[in-house]
A and B are shown apart, each in its own frame.
Chain A
Amino acid sequence: MNKKARKRAIRENLSSYAFLTPWLLGFFLLTLYPMLYSLYLSFTEFNILQPPKWIGLRNYFIMFIGNEQFPRDERFLNSLFVTFRFVFISVPLKLAFALAVAMLMNQRLKLIPFYRTLYYIPTLLGGSVAIAVLWRRLFAGDGVLNTILRSAFNLNPPAWISNPKYALYTLILLSVWQFGSPMIIFLAGLKQIPREYYEASSVDGAGKFRQFFAITLPSLSPIIFFNLVMQMISAFQSFTQAYIVSGGQGGPLDSTMFYSLYLYLKGFGFSEMGYASAMAWVLLIIIAVLTAVAFKVSGSLVSYGSGE
């Protein structure tokens, strides 16, 4: 009896592993193995076409320290700087915008489902090459925006996309414009807030502003936090927009040289796959640290509502 039971347990286990196999295979072969291999590569010099050569920590050394023989990679530091600027400007703007639109969408109007779909469309399109090309046309020196500014307001605007002072902001705008997915999540969060809170507070004489800061924001805080972390992670990995808008160059003047774009250029353009792998690991560490910091800070700011 005991034997039989054990046999059955084993068989059950086996069959569950069998069902898991496709996922496990994918995980080991397509995720874990490449990740570990890239960790190994990050300590090598690897030009893609010849076997990698072990060089210890040199790739990391070149990124941050550098010396006479292996000068520090200034373009790397610049790309880091550009990416941080992009993340810290675009993510808060995007969240604020998404929340504002979500609050508009949370009203009981007739065509609300239609509007919700409409406002989600940029998110579906935003990552596409076509939109990046469109952005180029919009903000080019003789693009749509400038043509309007010139003819309607008689201004002499700069070439937004090819001016190093403004190029990054056009990409930030593009990112903010894709506010759809945080908006949907905010909207779901807003629906969860009990109406009684608002009714009770208005009886007590609280205005719209007071309600927003005293009820909406605290109740939404877990969702804001979730959106913040997700958006931050994806913003750090932005690639397509910069690649297309800058023609793969990260220009002008490396002003849109995002971290992942430089990683790509290093790996595939300059054939320094070892260095590119090291960059990937540095990015992983940066994102992990920032996420950890966000969680730490959030402890005092986020209320999950069931604590009392």
Chain B
Amino acid sequence: MRKFVCVVFALFMCATMVFAQSATIRWAYWGSESRIKRSQQAIDLFMAANPGIAVNPEVSGGTGDHFNKVDTQIAGGSGPDIIQMGGNINDYVKKGVLLPLDKYVGNVLNTSVIDPSAVESGTLDRHLYGVSTGVTMPALAYNKSLLQRVGAPLPKVSMTYAEFRAYLVSLKSKLPAGVYPMQDIGAFSSNSTPFGYWTRYNGTPLYSAATNSTAVTTAAAQKYLELFKDYRDNGLVPPPDVAAGFAETNADTSMLIAGKAAIGFIWTNQLAGYQATTKDELELIEFPGAAATKALWQAPSQFYTVNKYSKNPELAVKFINFLVNSPDAAKVLGNDRGASASATARAAGSSDVNDRKVLEYLNVSGPHSSRETDHVPNDTEFNSTLFLVYQKVAFGQISPAVGGQQIYDLLVRLIRK
């Protein structure tokens, strides 16, 4: 018996020693199939080059699940080391859960090769909290193969709202029953982006951090709801119960990918991921009216941030540096988290057709964009409630006027909160 205990104890000691030698970095991010594959390839490359360091990905399908999970883990004292952040990075800096990365700059993290604007976007209160994963832009994607099959003309990249509506009408006559010219891009769980674009186009941006106020008025929000009511009433976007059948959290739940809509909204960095899930060919066009108003914007697609309570912050930063700056990583990651902002990563080049499409789009749309609007505080609640108000109008439960009032009230409440 004693012998047995000794053996078990010895085994236990060995196990702890093995664990002590190898460090594990936990990397939490969200994304669909193609991102998971690319990320795993990058992890494999890193682990091959750095024996003794293990990287464990913790993946969620969408942003909602990702942040629910991460919040709970952090609150329970077992947060991941690297956390992928989106536009809500400010919320997390304010909550004080992210590690300032300044002391790693220059030694572990090479920011000198990263575009200054990208470094700036991850800098809050004069500290670097997030390393930009790359640049991305909102865009409309259309199903080129579908349009060719039904013999419809392909859309121009830049259109006015009037041209755009006329184009949708012309599509409607060609498409079979049950297939709609466009997704209802307001009925999204992440609908603050299409709405955000429209408010910029309308000259009433959602939020300004400097003045802590919104330029959106009740009338402006109402106008937006009426724009889509018009599309809906004329069958240019699907009826609300059809739209609600698609969660639109990623490519797998997208109406565009399901072949039920010809045009849909995506971010440019999502193109390859969406393309990977369909045999039809996708192409990018701008949101209408961008050329005249410069209402589009380039955004840091996501950020890599480090948990303040990480036990291996330096290794985590080392891995981040690998992800953003290494040409090897750049080759496998592609444009999936945005067009790289790092010169060394870009030097790796790309032969990928989707990356080329994105580049072409960025060339046209870059000049049609201006500085990004600040994110509304409490991003998650904004998206969720905006979605609800929009749906109420779509289902005809309230009028666009009442909806406009509710959106305005919501913004005011979230800014004050």
Contact = CB atoms under 8 A, between A and B. Distances in A.
B74 A252 contact: no
Contacts of A271: 71, 380
Contacts of B391: 251-253
Interface stretch (A7-15, A45-53, A82-90, A198-206): A45-53
A277 B249 CA distance: 28
A50 B95 contact: yes
A255 to B, nearest CB: 9
Contact of B397 (A163, A253, A265, A268): A253
B247 interface: yes
A269 B397 contact: no
Nearest to A142: B178
A161 B243 CA distance: 11
Given A141-B245, A253-B395, A49 B71 contact: yes
B112 interface: no
Contacts of A75: 388
Contacts, number: 78
A97 B329 CA distance: 59
Contacts of B3: none
B71 A159 contact: no
A interface, by DSSP: helix, strand, loop or mixed? loop
B68 interface: yes
A56 interface: no
Contacts of B71: 48-49, 268, 271
Given A49-B75, A142-B178, A269-B384, A252 B240 contact: yes
B384 A249 contact: yes
A49 B395 contact: no
Contacts of B74: 48-49
Contact of B72 (A163, A248, A251, A268): A268
B68 A268 contact: yes
B125 interface: no
A297 to B, nearest CB: 36
Interface residues of B, number: 35
Given A48-B71, A142-B178, A269-B381, A251 B244 contact: yes
B65 interface: yes
B144 interface: no
Interface string B247-258: 101000100000
Nearest to A49: B95
Interface in A133-148: 140-142
Between B241, B391, B395, the greatest number of chain A beta carbons within 10 A of the residue's beta carbon is seen for B241
B241 A247 contact: no
Contact of A47 (B67, B68, B95, B249): B95
A69 to B, nearest CB: 9
Contacts of A175: none
B367 interface: no
A252 B75 contact: no
Contacts of B151: none
A173 B380 CA distance: 31
A253 B389 CA distance: 8
A71 B243 CA distance: 30
Contacts of A248: 64-65
A162 interface: yes
A159 B72 contact: no
A304 interface: no
A175 B397 CA distance: 28
Interface in B46-82: 64-65, 67-68, 71-72, 74-75
A158 interface: yes
Interface residues of A, number: 27
Contacts of A162: 241-245
Given A253-B391, A270-B378, A48 B245 contact: no
Between B64, B92, B178, B397, the greatest number of chain A beta carbons within 10 A of the residue's beta carbon is seen for B64
B244 A159 contact: yes
Nearest to B92: A49
Contacts of B104: none
Contact of A265 (B244, B249, B378, B384): B384
Contacts of B243: 162
Interface string A12-43: 00000000000000000000000000000000
Given A48-B71, A49-B95, A252 B395 contact: yes
Contacts of A48: 71-72, 74-75
Contacts of B68: 268-269
B247 to A, nearest CB: 4
Interface in B359-409: 378, 380-381, 384, 387-388, 391-392, 395, 397, 409
A270 B410 CA distance: 14
Nearest to B260: A142
B96 A158 contact: no
A258 B115 CA distance: 47
B189 interface: yes
Contacts of B215: none
Interface in B229-248: 240-245, 247
Given A49-B97, A50-B95, A249-B384, A141 B378 contact: no
A249 B96 contact: no
Contacts of B67: 269
Nearest to B413: A71
Given A247-B253, A268-B72, A270-B378, A163 B95 contact: no
Interface in A153-180: 158-159, 161-164
Contact of A247 (B95, B178, B242, B247): B247
Interface in B16-66: 64-65
B247 A164 contact: no
Nearest to A162: B244
Contacts of B72: 48, 268
Interface string A233-277: 000000000000001110111100000000001001111000000
A248 B178 CA distance: 26
B387 A249 contact: yes
Interface in A55-87: 71, 75
B241 to A, nearest CB: 4
23 contacts: A47-B95, A49-B92, A50-B96, A140-B245, A158-B241, A162-B244, A162-B245, A164-B241, A164-B395, A247-B247, A249-B387, A252-B240, A252-B391, A253-B388, A253-B391, A253-B397, A269-B64, A269-B67, A269-B68, A269-B380, A270-B378, A271-B71, A271-B380
In the A-B complex, the 4 residue pairs with the smallest Cβ-Cβ separation, listed nearest first, are A162-B244, A247-B247, A252-B244, A162-B245
